[in-house]
C-alpha cells in the first residue's frame, strides 16, 4: 500500500445524506494510508452517523457546533480550515453544494469551507432528480470554475428506490482522488505535474453551413472535451481550448478559441502550435457542403435540393503528421457503434496519433450529451478498458496518464 497520504491532514466534512454511512469507511481507508483525519459533522449528518463512531475512527474530537464556547474561543472554525492540507466534503449533498456556491456560512461546515485557504474536494451524493436539476448543475459548474475538485457521483440503485446518477463515489474512489491531488494531479493553477506544458484541446461539434439558417452537425455536447481541458489546467498545464458551439462554460483559466466550422478549427489548432500535447476530443463533421447557399434555400416543386458534399480537413491526422510543430503526444477520440476496439486500433494506425480513446456511441449508450462514459485507451503497446466514469473523472484520469507519460523518466 502506498503512503502518499502519510501525515497529510484531511478535514472531512460529512453532510446529511444516507451516504454518510460510507464516511466511516472513508475515514478508515484514509487513516490506514497514514492520513490524519479530523471531522466536522453537520447537524443533519448526526441523523445518519454518530459523533461517537466518528471519534472512535479518527481518534480525534468531532466538531459540529459553530458557537461552541470552548472551540470558538480561539476562532476554531478558522483554525480547523487552516490546519488542514485538504478539505473533503463527503457526502456533498445538493444542499451543501448550493450553500457553498452561494458563499453561505450558516453552520460550522460552511463557515470552515468559506474561511479556508486550502483546496476543497467534493463527492456529490443525492437523488437522481436532484442531481439532474439545473440548479444543482449550475452550482457545481460554478464551484468547478472556482477550483473546487470533484469525484463522482456514480450511477446505480439509490436508497429511495430510484436508479441513476447520484450515488456517492465509493470510499476507495475518493481516496484515489485525494491521492491524485497530493501527487499533483488535482492542483488548480500552475503547480501540478504538467507545469510548463502547453496543452491543446478540441471540443464540441462543428457546424457546417448549408445556407444562412441550416447546417450539418452532430450530437456532441462538448462536456468531455471541456472536462479534459479543466483537468489539464488543474494539472498545471497552460491550456488552449478550441471549441465548436456548445452550452458548456469554458473552464476559468483556459484560453478559449470559439469556432464554427472544421476549417476554422483546423486554422485555430495550427495557430495554437507549438504544444506539448494535443487532445482531439471534438466531434468534427466529416463533410461540409461544397458550396453553401448565400440565401435560405426555399422549398420547391422539384423536391429537396441535391447537396454536393466535400470532405473536411482531417485535424487529428494533420496534428499527428511528422513535422517541427508536431506535439510530443497526440491523443484522438474514436466514436464507434460496433467493434469499438478494433476500429479504434485501425484509426490510431491510420491517423498516426499516439493514443486513441474509443467509446461506444450506439443508441442507448447516452454517450453524446450524457454525463458519463466507458472508454478504451488504445496505445501502441496495449488496449485497456476504463470503468464507467463521469466525464470530469475521465478528464482527471486522462490528465494523470498524460502527466505520467511526460514524467516517466
Tens of pLDDT, residue by residue over 2-42, are 566 888 999 999 999 999 999 999 999 999 999 999 999 99
Query: What angle, rounded to 10 degrees, do the helices at 94-102 and 134-145 form?
Result: 50
Segment 234-261 shows an average pLDDT of 88
Query: Is residue 362 over pLDDT 70?
Result: no
226 and 172 assigned to the same domain: no
DSSP codes of every residue in 117-129: -S-EEEEE---HH
Q: Is residue 192 part of a domain?
A: no
The catalytic residue positions are 160
Grid cell digits, residue 134 = 439545473
Beta bridge partners of 86: 10
The pLDDT confidence band at residue 77, using thresholds 50, 70 and 90, is low
313 is in an annotated binding site: yes
244 and 168 assigned to the same domain: no
- pLDDT at 316 (0 to 100): 96
Q: Is residue 395 part of a domain?
A: yes
347 is in an annotated binding site: yes
Grid cell digits, residue 311 = 470532405
> Which among 99, 192, 88 has a CA at the least distance from the CA of 139?
99
Least confident of 61-70, 175-184, 357-366: 357-366
Q: Is residue 190 part of a domain?
A: no
Q: How many Å apart are CA 10 and CA 374, to the nearest integer? A: 31
Q: How many Å apart are CA 378 and CA 6, to the nearest integer? A: 34
Grid cell digits, residue 196 = 510548463
Q: Is residue 342 part of a domain?
A: yes
286 is in an annotated binding site: yes
The residue out of 132, 149, 182 marking a domain boundary is 182
pLDDT tens-digit map of 293-350: 899 988 876 778 888 999 999 999 999 998 889 999 999 998 777 788 888 899 999 9
> Total domain count for the chain?
2
Full residue range of the structural domain in which residue 64 is found: 9-182
Look up the CATH number of the domain holding residue 177.
Answer: 3.40.50.1950
The pLDDT confidence band at residue 184, using thresholds 50, 70 and 90, is low
150 and 18 assigned to the same domain: yes
- pLDDT at 87 (0 to 100): 95
pLDDT tens-digit map of 130-158: 988 989 988 988 887 787 888 878 877 77
296 is in an annotated binding site: yes
Q: Is residue 14 part of a domain?
A: yes
Amino acid at each position: 500500500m502506498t503512503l502518499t497520504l502519510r501525515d497529510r491532514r484531511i478535514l472531512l466534512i460529512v453532510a446529511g445524506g444516507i451516504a454518510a454511512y460510507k464516511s466511516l469507511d472513508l475515514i478508515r481507508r484514509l487513516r490506514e494510508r497514514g492520513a490524519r483525519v479530523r471531522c466536522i459533522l453537520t447537524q443533519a449528518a448526526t441523523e445518519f452517523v454518530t459523533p461517537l463512531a466518528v471519534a472512535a475512527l479518527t481518534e480525534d474530537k468531532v466538531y459540529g457546533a459553530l458557537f461552541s464556547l470552548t472551540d470558538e474561543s480561539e476562532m476554531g472554525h478558522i483554525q480547523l480550515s487552516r490546519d488542514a492540507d485538504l478539505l473533503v466534503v463527503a457526502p456533498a449533498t445538493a444542499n451543501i453544494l448550493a450553500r457553498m456556491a452561494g458563499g453561505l456560512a450558516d453552520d460550522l461546515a460552511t463557515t470552515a469551507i468559506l474561511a479556508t485557504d486550502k483546496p476543497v474536494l467534493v463527492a456529490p451524493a443525492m437523488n437522481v432528480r436532484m442531481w439532474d436539476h439545473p440548479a444543482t448543475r449550475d452550482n457545481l459548474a460554478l464551484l468547478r470554475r472556482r477550483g473546487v475538485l470533484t469525484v463522482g457521483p456514480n450511477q446505480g440503485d439509490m436508497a429511495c428506490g430510484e436508479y441513476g446518477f447520484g450515488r456517492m463515489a465509493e470510499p476507495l474512489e475518493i481516496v484515489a482522488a485525494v491521492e491524485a491531488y497530493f501527487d499533483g494531479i488535482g492542483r488548480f493553477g500552475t503547480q501540478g505535474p504538467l507545469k510548463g506544458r502547453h496543452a491543446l484541446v478540441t471540443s464540441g461539434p462543428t457546424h457546417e453551413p448549408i445556407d444562412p439558417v441550416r447546417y450539418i452537425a452532430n450530437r456532441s455536447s462538448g462536456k468531455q472535451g471541456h472536462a479534459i481541458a479543466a483537468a489539464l489546467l488543474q494539472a498545471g498545464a497552460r491550456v488552449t481550448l478550441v471549441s465548436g458551439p456548445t452550452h458548456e462554460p469554458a473552464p476559468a483559466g483556459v484560453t478559449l478559441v470559439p469556432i464554427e466550422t472544421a476549417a476554422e478549427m483546423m486554422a485555430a489548432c495550427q495557430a495554437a502550435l507549438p504544444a506539448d500535447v494535443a487532445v482531439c476530443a471534438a466531434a468534427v463533421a466529416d463533410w461540409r457542403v461544397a458550396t453553401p447557399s448565400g440565401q435560405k434555400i426555399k422549398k420547391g416543386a422539384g423536391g429537396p435540393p441535391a447537396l454536393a458534399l466535400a470532405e473536411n480537413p482531417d485535424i487529428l491526422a494533420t496534428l499527428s503528421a511528422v513535422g517541427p510543430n508536431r506535439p510530443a503526444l497526440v491523443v484522438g477520440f474514436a466514436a464507434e457503434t460496433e467493434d469499438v476496439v478494433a476500429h479504434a486500433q485501425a484509426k490510431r494506425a491510420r491517423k498516426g496519433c499516439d493514443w486513441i480513446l474509443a467509446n461506444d456511441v450506439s443508441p442507448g449508450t447516452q454517450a453524446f450529451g450524457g454525463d458519463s462514459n466507458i472508454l478504451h485507451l488504445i496505445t501502441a503497446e496495449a488496449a485497456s478498458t476504463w470503468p464507467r466514469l463521469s466525464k470530469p473523472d475521465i478528464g482527471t484520469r486522462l490528465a494523470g496518464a498524460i502527466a505520467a507519460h511526460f514524467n516517466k523518466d
